[in-house]
Amino acid sequence: MFKPNLTDLRAYDPGPSIEDIKKAYGLNRIVKLDSNENVYGASPRVAEAIAKAVLLPALYPDCRDTEVRSELSKLLGVKPEQFLFGCGLDEIIALISRALLAPGDSMVMAWPTFYEYYCHAQIEGASTKKIPCDKDGRHDLKAMFAAIDSSTKVVWICNPNNPTGTYINEKELSDFVRQVPENVAVIIDEDYIDFVTAADFPNSLRLLENHPNVLVLRTFSKSYGLASFRIGYAVGQRRLIDEIDKVRPPFNTTRLSQIAAYAALKDQEFMKECTRKNREVLAMTTAYLDEKKIPYYPSQTNFIFVKARDPKGVAEKCRKQGFLINPFQDGIRITIGKKEDMQDLLKILEQALTEASVEPTA
């Protein structure tokens, strides 16, 4: 009954609910630092806009996301017709894969990076070339370029990268894009761009004018604090946007998500205050890790990747103390929380890492 290429896939596992964790460990409080959500929430204007809105529950939402499209166009200096909206970037990734990939095609991505790139290539029957990140947790662009062949239709670049938090600079990205054949789409996923402080981080939107094969992805889930509303978007030249739009389901973003996104965009000061706080607590976190000689990748995001033996064991020890963090193969990804929460977590983390260094790995 099912596609054979689904065999090796796994459904997304969100893990136990917060209430289940509280019951399991006898906890009264959980600090959720495993999904890179904005710990400061959304602009108060979002709740105000929803409360005042006429929701029209019996009618379909605006299929063109008109208000959000217009506001983003002014904010980013991009034509309104260059946007494609989706139910979070997860749907945008699915739409890109559906429009561009077929059995016999291949795509190139770094590893580790966002799992959904691989997942949707697999669903479409395309093969994936996973190129290991370098020793500093960065995309190995030279190896990624070498992996492109006549079957390659898509190259994914997550910048900054999830889960390592590292980035590709302006020159590196520009040089790479210039080399990639125009019949290969270069998808630049900038989920965390608003948290970036690096002076040499690329302005990828400038690439769009001369590179019709480039598509830039951004979201409202992170810096704007709208993860619950599921709305993200792609920006590119009209031809690429129009072709992907053919596979987009109609009315794929809700009226509530459109209202929330528009209100969030109108409060840039709140978003900037969130990113400012994130930078302060990130600096405090890295200073602590440096002092304790705990290895990590320098981050340009609202999370940090800490290297660890037995990451699952370390994450479990933190969970028992009420802190949820995300284990990976060779380390743990931690959302940068509020100052007081991070101060508490770092002490627990240090103890857990010390115990993991002397105990056998799981």
What does the pLDDT read at residue 361?
Answer: 45
CATH fold group of domain 4-41+269-358:
Aspartate Aminotransferase, domain 1 (3.90.1150)
Percent of residues, the chain, with pLDDT higher than 90: 95
Q: Which CATH architecture has domain 44-267?
A: 3-Layer(aba) Sandwich (3.40)
In tens, the pLDDT along 177-234 reads 999 999 999 999 999 999 999 999 999 999 999 999 999 999 999 999 999 999 999 9
Percent of residues, the chain, with pLDDT higher than 70: 99
- Would you say 299 and 331 are in contact if contact means Cβ atoms under 8 Å apart? no
Spell out the residues 6+ positions from residue 113 whose beta carbon is closer than 8 angstroms to its own: 133, 139, 156, 158, 161, 162, 163
- Would you say 303 and 282 are in contact if contact means Cβ atoms under 8 Å apart? no
What does the pLDDT read at residue 296?
Answer: 98
Tell me the CB-side half-sphere exposure of residue 318, using CA atoms within 13 A.
31
Q: What is the mean pLDDT of the chain?
A: 96
Residue 254, burial from CB neighbour count under 10 angstroms (0-12, 13-18, 19+): middle
What does the pLDDT read at residue 360?
Answer: 47
CATH 3.90.1150.10 in the chain, residue ranges: 4-41+269-358
What is the average pLDDT across 134-152?
Answer: 98
In tens, the pLDDT along 33-90 reads 999 999 999 999 999 999 999 999 999 999 999 999 999 999 999 999 999 999 999 9
What does the pLDDT read at residue 358?
Answer: 62
In whole angstroms, give the CA distance from residue 286 to residue 290. 6
CATH 3.40.640.10 in the chain, residue ranges: 44-267
What is the average pLDDT across 261-284?
Answer: 98
Residues in the chain: 362
What does the pLDDT read at residue 8?
Answer: 87
What does the pLDDT read at residue 303?
Answer: 98
Instruction: Categorize the per-residue pLDDT at 13 as very low, low, confident or very high, splitting at 50, 70 and 90.
Output: confident
